[in-house]
Every structure is written in structure tokens, then in C-alpha cells.
Amino acid sequence: MYMKKALLTSLILLALNAQAESVFRRSNGAEPKSIDPQLASENAGSNVIYDTFEGLVSNTANGELIPGVAEKWEISDDGKTYTFHLRENAKWSNDTPVTAGDFVYAWRRAVNPATGGEYAFILYPVKNAEAIASGTEKNIEALGIKAIDAHTVQVELNNPTPYFLDLTAHYITYPIPQKIVEQYGDKWTQPGNIVSNGAYKLTKWKAQSDIVVEKSPTYWNKDQVSIDKVIYYPTESTATAFARYRAGEVDYVESLTSEDLETARKQFADQLHIDPYLGIYWIGFNTGKPPLKDNVKLREALSIAIDRQTIIDKITKAGQIPAYGLVPPATKNSAPYQPEYAKLDRKAQIERAKALYAEAGYSKEKPLKISLTYNTSEAHKKIMVAIAAMWKQVLGVETELVNQEWKVMLSNFTQGNIEAYRYGWIGDYNDPYTFLEVFQKGSAMNYSKFSSDAYDAKLKEASATQDLAARAKLLQEAEKMVVDDYAFAPL
């Protein structure tokens, strides 16, 4: 989801060509794992979902909330009950009305353990959502959402949640057509089967070739949809994506290598957009698997040995900000934490890293041997090569770089086979919780296997705190726990 302020930088090349039929051709990264709103977990799938489905509220290009299927809503005085009023002209692509029951069905499906949705935690502020997702509450109907009538949805929260409306813009909350899902099962999102309620409808999906969506004639706001067709091309290689852009084969690429960025600045300056967004890039450490298990000093040494500013100056070159904590500094209602080593100069950092490495039981004569896994991308590869070189130079670590396709990497995450790995997180909403909840026990994205009852309790305490300043302090204390455990190395 796009956010206005951030830590990372989005590199976009955009060229719109005048055609009789307006067609927007975009590079879309990896082949989508899924375009099911309750099952998708990566950008390639969510890009298609955001174009073909619509939730209660939507986001503008600047990350501001605007009405979606819900034309208005009320919030109770205690901040725990939200009542959404749906547009009567909101329709599915098969010309049937979108109803409150469609949202109730989707939300129950999202938290149902049988669904296996990785983003179920997005709905945890809703009454009984976490209990249902964990299996302690067996009654799916106990979820705090109900249809008052065909066009009124009421949601009950555990506690007042300042960012709850932002959550309703996330795709896991989007409605789905129950009859279609039950009729086609796991094939309901295929062309010819799928029914959606957004600005576009899916007309083609050829794996490893292209996905095509076309303007939906039943969308309530169709008169404001100016592009007739969108084509998504799965292109994991950023260099290949840029080559296709230069050849006029695509109109949009979202990421560039440092070399291609320099070329774009010279040849496509009027088409290049460098925008900040709310996110963080990190190296994850699998704390459930040796050699990183039960060795905080080793993980800390590896983190400190990385020269973040050099990576920015020599490799990424797009004005990124070095990260030492988990919550980006521009996040609303936050008090980001930074560890002590962030305040040291580079010489002192290196000395500390070497000392910790020795205390952890390693030396240049007895080096750590570790694998560092990253998903296919020239940009990722250059950063991983640099990190491996820094670990070698500062500590003597012998690093095996492992390149995997994204789907393979996800499978290995699930199996716990990976030692150190490249990862990152783009905020699903503008609040510290979107980053901190990744490391909760039970989070499907907690690939570091970080586990702390105190951390989880601190997040729960923050969730029940209405005073924003007090809440920010509690979240900072939680952030300190995971940062100081070095379950990951922020970059």
C-alpha cells in the first residue's frame, strides 16, 4: 500500500501513450502467488487485487483515505464500534449487488484457520479475530462483524484502534462473492470464473506471460476510470523490466538497478519519479536454527558489521535513509527506537562488531559459515554481495549467497530452512503496529522465529491504550525488545 512519507524510496518510470483504446502495460515483478483477497501476500498479487476489487474505504495516490464501497460511516463515542453504510449502486462484475453479507463472509473467511491467509493478523483489532485465527474460539460467527441490513455493516473492536479505518483499505478486508467461491473452490479467481467488484475485471491470466484486466461496466464509479485495459507482465529481473521499458514494451517499472537509475536520469528524466514510501529493508536471522539460534552476540555482530551508508552511497543511490530500528521515523503516532551502536562512528562500530564476534565464539581462524538467501533481483544481489564482503572484511565470515525465485523462497521460509535472508516490509497502514506485528508469535511473516511473551504482552497493552503519547512509548518499548534481540538487521 502506498504511503506518503517513508524510509525507502520508490523508483518509478511512467510513460503514457495515446491510443484509441487506452492500455496501461506494467511490469509486475514475480508471477502472483494468488489474487484471492484473503490469500494473497505479496505485491504482484495485491497490484491486481487493488485494481479488480474494492473495500469499504480506498486510498488516494497520496495515501489519504476516501470512501470506497462504503459511502459513509459512523464511529461510536467509545471508539469501539464502526458502522459502515454501503452504496446501493455498488455491484459485482456479474451485475449483482455488493451487500453487507459479502463483507461478513470475507472477514470470517480471512480469520478462519482453515483458510490459511497470511494476513489474518490485519483483522486482530476486531473482536474475537485473534481467538478465531488461533483456534481458541471455534465459532466463526463470534467475529465482531455483522450485517445490520443489506447495505449496513457494523464492526466491533476489542479496543479503540486509531488506525482501524486504514485497515479497511487493505485487500484482506475486501468482499468476495460467496456463491462463486463455493462453486469453484480454489479455482474461483481464474478467468471465466472470477467475479469482482472493482474498477476492472480479469479477462486473462497466462502464467509467466501476462495478466489482463479490462474496465468493468458494472463498477459504481466507472465514469472516473480513464484507462480501458491494464496488462501486468511478470518480470522478476529489474534489468529486464527496464530493457522492456526502453524498448517501448511496457509503460511502467517500479524498481531500477543503480546503473539503470543513472541511465533513466539522463534519458527519461521527465518520466522518472522518485518518491518516498513507508517501508524498511532488512536482513533476517532465523533464530530457530543454528548457528544463529541462541546467539544474540553473533547476530548483533553481523548487524553492526554492515556499513549501511556505504550501501546507500555506492549501490542504491536513491536517497534512502540508513535504518537501525524497525519503525520508520516518519510513521504517525510513533517514537522510533535506535540501538546504541547507531550513535557510534564507523571505527567504533567495527571494534564493537569484532568484540561481539569473538565473544560469540568465532574468529578469522574459526570463521562463521552462513548462507544468505535473496530472491531474484539484480538490485538485491548487489546489496547481498556487498553485505557478504563487509562480513568477510570486518569479521572473516564465509558467506554462501543463495539466489531463489520468490515462490521457492517462501516455501523455504515456511519449512524453516533458511539461515539469513533478505526481506523487507512496506507499511499496510501508517502506524507503528504495521511493522511491530510482523514479529508477534503466530505471525505468518515472522520468518525470523522471534518469540517473546513480553513483546506480545507489550503490544497488547499498547492496543488497549487510548492516549497516543503513552501508546507510542509502549510501542517503542516493544520495538526495543525485537531490535535488541537482533532477530533482523535493519538496513
- In this structure, what C-alpha cell is assigned to residue 473? 512509548
CA distance 377 to 483: 27
CATH class of 280-490: alpha beta
Higher pLDDT, 379 or 212: 212
Alpha-carbon distance 43 to 455, whole Å?
28
The pTM is what? 0.83
Query: How much is the pLDDT for 1?
Result: 28
Amino acid, res. 46: S
Cell numbers that stand for 216 in this block:
468493468
C-alpha closest to that of 93 among 8, 203, 237: 203
Distance CA 82, CA 157 (A): 8
CA distance 359 to 295: 10
For the chain, what are the domain ranges?
A: 280-490
Q: Is residue 11 pLDDT above 70, yes or no?
A: no
Listed range (15-19, 43-47, 134-138, 436-440) with the worst mean pLDDT: 15-19
Checking if the pLDDT of 3 tops 50, the result is: no
Per-residue model confidence as pLDDT tens digits over 311-349: 999 999 888 999 999 999 989 999 999 999 999 999 999
Position 7 confidence tier, pLDDT thresholds 50, 70, 90: very low
- 265: number of CA atoms within 13 Å, CB side? 11
pLDDT at 237 over 90: no
pLDDT one-digit tens code per residue, 82-139: 999 999 999 999 999 999 999 999 999 999 999 999 999 999 999 999 999 999 999 9
pLDDT value of residue 14: 62
Task: Please tell me the distance from the alpha carbon of residue 71 to that of residue 89, in angstroms, as a whole number.
Answer: 10
Taking each helix axis as running N to C, give the angle between helix 296-304 and helix 378-395, from 0 to 180 degrees, rounded to the nearest 10: 110
pLDDT band at 301 (very low <50, low <70, confident <90, very high): very high
Measured CA to CA, the distance from residue 299 to residue 238 in angstroms comes to 30
Q: Characterize 71-80 residue by residue with b for buried, 16 or more Cβ atoms within 10 angstroms of its Cβ, and e for exposed.
A: bebeeeeeeb
In the chain, what percentage of residues exceed pLDDT 90?
81
CA dihedral 472, 462, 440, 479 (to 10 degrees): 30
Q: Distance between CA 271 and CA 264 in Å, rounded?
A: 8
275 contacts: CB under 8 Å, gap ≥ 6: 9, 10, 12
Mean pLDDT of 150-170: 96
How far are the Cα atoms of 94, 253, 453 from residue 90, in angstroms, in the given order? 12, 32, 44
Checking if the pLDDT of 20 tops 80, the result is no
Q: Is pLDDT above 90 for 464?
A: no
Q: Is the separation of the CB atoms in 485 and 439 below 8 Å?
A: no
Q: Are 220 and 89 in contact (CB under 8 A)?
A: yes
Mean pLDDT of the chain: 93
Q: Are strands 488-490 and 369-375 parallel, antiparallel or unpaired?
A: unpaired
Q: Which of 231, 6, 55, 226 lies closest to 153 in space, CA to CA?
A: 55
CA-based max dimension of the chain = 72
Binned at pLDDT 50, 70 and 90, residue 2 comes out as very low
φ, ψ for residue 147 (rounded to 5)?
A: -95, 110
pLDDT-based confidence at residue 238 (cuts at 50, 70, 90):
confident
- pLDDT, tens digit (0-9, with 9 covering 90-100), for 240-262: 999 999 999 999 998 888 889 89
What are residue 371's DSSP bridge partners? 400
Among residues 251, 255, 245, the alpha carbon closest in space to that of 230 is found at: 251
106, 107, 109, 114: CA torsion to nearest 10: 160
Q: Model confidence over 375-423: pLDDT tens digits? A: 988 889 999 999 999 999 999 999 999 999 988 998 898 888 899 999 9
